[in-house]
Amino acid sequence: MSYDPDNIFAKILRGEIPSFKVYEDEQTYCFMDIMPRSAGHCLVIPKTPCRNILDASPEQLCACMATVSTVANAAMKAFGADGITLQQFSEAAGGQEVFHLHFHILPRHSGKSLGPAGVMGDMEVIKAHAEKLIAALG
Ligand code: AMP
């Protein structure tokens, strides 16, 4: 399977479609998921192309994991979370819908289930959650 440069996250990286940015460094970009399954649900992606865990280089994976760790700790603070769920889906059979490697960071609270997938969030709430994360990263 090859990388499609017209996938939606590649378009976000090129600034062709908007996103709620949370964090970026030279190698990675973190932004809010617009169909959040928990408050603060965000995504970490490499800035360089790869489809998923099956073709990612060790460098891409290491860079993403460093950012995941940074943002996950900020999310614990920002949302008073009790834990974090980290998800990654590879290929359609694995549940992947957008074919640019991404890791879901889902802040969790004890006893609270994840919300359903595929439900568009309230953009004002998502924006406010991005701001909370940014403040906690400060
Ligand atoms: P998956 O490939 O199964 O990990 O799912 C892709 C994820 O990307 C889903 O959680 C979607 O809600 C999310 N998503 C899709 N389009 C956008 C977008 N334009 N901005 C932010 N998140 C998105």
58 in any annotated domain: yes
pTM higher than the cut 0.95: yes
pLDDT at 1 over 90: no
Which residue is catalytic, options 102, 104, 109, 129?
Answer: 102
Cα-based angle 132, 112, 42 (whole degrees, multiple of 5): 35
Q: 126 C-alpha vs ligand 1 centroid, how far in Å?
A: 13
Catalytic (active site) residue 102: yes
Residue 83 within a domain: yes
Distance CA 50, CA 99 (A): 8
pLDDT in tens, 75-129: 999 999 999 999 999 999 999 999 999 999 999 999 999 999 999 999 999 999 9
Residue 107 lies in a domain: yes
What pLDDT score does 15 carry?
Answer: 98
pLDDT of residue 53: 98
Cβ atoms of 51 and 1 closer than 8 Å? yes
On whether residue 93 sits in a domain, the answer given is yes
58: domain CATH number?
3.30.428.10
- The answer, yes or no, to whether residue 32 has pLDDT greater than 90, is yes
User: Six-digit token pair at 88?
Assistant: 């990654």
Q: Structurally, how many domains does the chain consist of? A: 1
2 inside domain: no
Nearest-atom number in ligand 1 for the CA of 118 is 12
Containing domain of residue 97, as a range?
A: 8-137
In this structure, is residue 3 part of a structural domain?
no
Q: State the closest ligand 1 atom to the C-alpha of 98, by its place in the atom list counted from 1.
A: 2
